[in-house]
Structure 1
Amino acid sequence: MKVVPEFHDDFWIPIPLDTNNISAYSPFLVPQDHLGHHGVFMAMAALMFFLFVAGTAINVLTIVCTIQYKKLRSHLNYILVNLAVSNLWVSVFGSSVAFYAFWEKYFIFGVIGCKIEGFTSTIGGMVSLWSLAVVAFERWLVICKPLGNFTFKTQHAIIGCILPWCIALSAAIPPLCGWSRYIPEGLQCSCGPDWYTTNNKYNNESFVMYLFCFCFAVPFSTIVFCYGQLLITLKLAAKAQADSASTQKAEKEVTKMVVVMVFGFLLCWGPYACFALWVISHRGETFDLRLATIPSCLCKASTVYNPVIYVLMNKQFRSCMMKMVCGKNIDEDEASSSSQVTQVSSVAPEK
């Protein structure tokens, strides 16, 4: 295979050796049948359609549920709603566009559409990622009490909602201004930052390292540290109250939820970060673009499994959603209880 010359400003794809007409293989003009079987594109279209429908439904439900039920308007839940908004953003502007592009087997929306899709998906993804870090940080402050009797107030929740959007803009705007660029990725049916080329014109490698360090390593380290401290606090509380069944139950529930949260984060962002680093550290090596599509799909799938982890595992949200959708009344003890993570605040040892 021959690599498209890096001076092409709109895309990067491998093309056959005997082809000199790059435009004949442009992902903006013709179906990319040379990159994969028809069935692969249709399978990806089906997946994107599912993510669009499921992601839109569950995140809209989360937002509407919070508006309808006053008891859900806690400071922590404000951040979870912010997460739902970012997930909805990706579903509407990312998964839906990718569905139609996979159906057509090329990015039918053109160069400008690619920049818009890459920009909006990056914003939604970064807000989602940093919202998870903010949730972990909030739990650490409230439960582990590193600042003593710190009270998480409305203004703190507002800052926790605004900050991820500011950070997301710092990651999404540079490719529009010449630091990296947005191009079709994988099977050329969705767009993202350019991991592939070493063109000094765009300084792609420095942008990839910026994203990896500031938009993956920092929030991931925050999540691991905060939830690690939370687990230590729980174990100390459980040890001090060994005869308390509720304390022991809270420890097991939160341990399970923390493991699921960290695993979900790694499943969403780990492959994307690892793929980007592998590409920039193995320049010139060939790779299957079908495999390169997987990390992008896992990121878009977060619009579904993030709400499942952070919302549906929250007893307040779950009970209110069932009541709103099914008209089913939930046991009052369960309906009035907080999320599994919030429950442990009552058993955390005093410092």
Structure 2
Amino acid sequence: MWIILAHKRMRTVTNYLLFNLALSDASMASFNTLVNLVSGLHGDWYFGEGYCKFHNFFPVAAVFASIYSMAAIAMDRYMAIIHPLKPRLSASVTKGVCACVWVMAVTLALPLCVFSTVRVMPHKSACHIAWPRGHADMVMYHILLGLLVYLVPLSIMGVAYSRVALILWGAEIPGDSSENYHQQLLAKRKVVKMMVVVVVTFALCWLPYHLYFLLTGLSPRLTRWRPIQQLYLAVIWLAMSSTMYNPIIYCCLNNR
């Protein structure tokens, strides 16, 4: 984030969107990961009702911001490579796109903030979501979440990057064998490779999370299965770990 803000030459459309992606990853790592670990290991909630609302609300907002930033990057790469003669987004419009991503993220996650509460039980307390119609609302929300925060954006990115790959790795332009052309082609391929790795990593980390809540929502008896707590912790750990991979991917696949 600092590299993009501190160096003028790094303030490109793609990098502004990468900044937004990094901001959502850093936010989740800072505010939620440690709290998840402590409450998961102890089976108790120590952090009060205010943080309970924030804790349930913010990860969904951050994930939404992450994946729609990735979708925006995919569309930016698509327009730059498939329609290179069309005008690119300006810096101010890109900042507006980033702001819209966060507004949509907060709106989608708002029900989790509204209905979160701390339930006090003998010897422990739990941060949970008290849906107005109980189990039915929970199932509907997680199906909606799986569609809007996972399947739909991943499908958009899959189509965009497939088209881009056909152009970049397909037949080269006949008669254009200049060194400059080949350097530009390699540079474009590098950026697309990097973003495809980012998207695939995100998809693999969050797939078990969405499957877990979908399956336990549709079949509540699974929650009585003895190893379910360990499975839940593993699923949460994998999802939270997605916030640490992107800087490693940038470092390995982009010399700049």
Q: TM-score, normalised by structure 2?
A: 0.80
1:50-69 map, 5 Å: 63-69=1-7
Query: Does the 8 Å contact 2:27/2:62 carry over to 1?
Result: yes
Residue type matched to 1:126 in 2? F
For 1:149 and 1:133, the matched residues in 2 are separated by: 19
Q: CA deviation at 1:265?
A: 2.0
For 1:189 and 1:150, the matched residues in 2 are separated by: 55
Cα deviation per residue 1:133-188 (whole Å; 9 max; x = unaligned)?
Answer: 11111111111118x5232212331132112202211221012334xx5789xxx9
State whether structure 2 residue 79 is matched by structure 1 residue 145: no
After the TM superposition, which of the residue ranges 294-303 and 243-252 deviates more from structure 2? 243-252
Equivalent residues, number: 246
- 2:74 alignment partner in structure 1: 136
Moved over 6 A (4+): 188-194
Q: CA deviation at 1:279?
A: 1.7
Q: CA deviation at 1:235?
A: 2.5
- 2:165 alignment partner in structure 1: 231
> Greater relative contact order (Cα 8 A, min sep 6): structure 1 or 2?
2
Cα distance change, pair 124–193 in 1 and its aligned pair in 2 (3 A): farther
For 1:122 and 1:190, the matched residues in 2 are separated by: 19
Query: Does the 8 Å contact 2:24/2:63 carry over to 1?
Result: yes
- 1:295 alignment partner in structure 2: 235
Residue type matched to 2:19 in 1? V
Cα deviation per residue 1:116-140 (whole Å; 9 max; x = unaligned)?
Answer: 2112222222211211111111111
Gaps of 5+ in 1: 1-62, 317-351
- 2:149 alignment partner in structure 1: 215
Gaps of 5+ in 2: none
Q: Match for 2:110 among 173, 194, 202?
A: 173
RMSD of Structure 2 on Structure 1 (CA): 3.4
Cα distance change, pair 249–183 in 1 and its aligned pair in 2 (3 A): farther
Q: CA deviation at 1:242?
A: 8.9
Cα distance change, pair 100–283 in 1 and its aligned pair in 2 (3 A): closer
For 2:63 and 2:217, the matched residues in 1 are separated by: 21
Residue type matched to 1:156 in 2? V
For 1:106 and 1:124, the matched residues in 2 are separated by: 24
Residue type matched to 2:29 in 1? S
- 2:199 alignment partner in structure 1: 262
Cα distance change, pair 135–256 in 1 and its aligned pair in 2 (3 A): closer
Decide which structure has greater helix share.
2
State whether structure 2 residue 43 is matched by structure 1 residue 112: no
Cα distance change, pair 164–270 in 1 and its aligned pair in 2 (3 A): same
For 1:84 and 1:131, the matched residues in 2 are separated by: 9
Q: Secondary structure at the match of 1:173?
A: helix
Residue type matched to 1:162 in 2? A
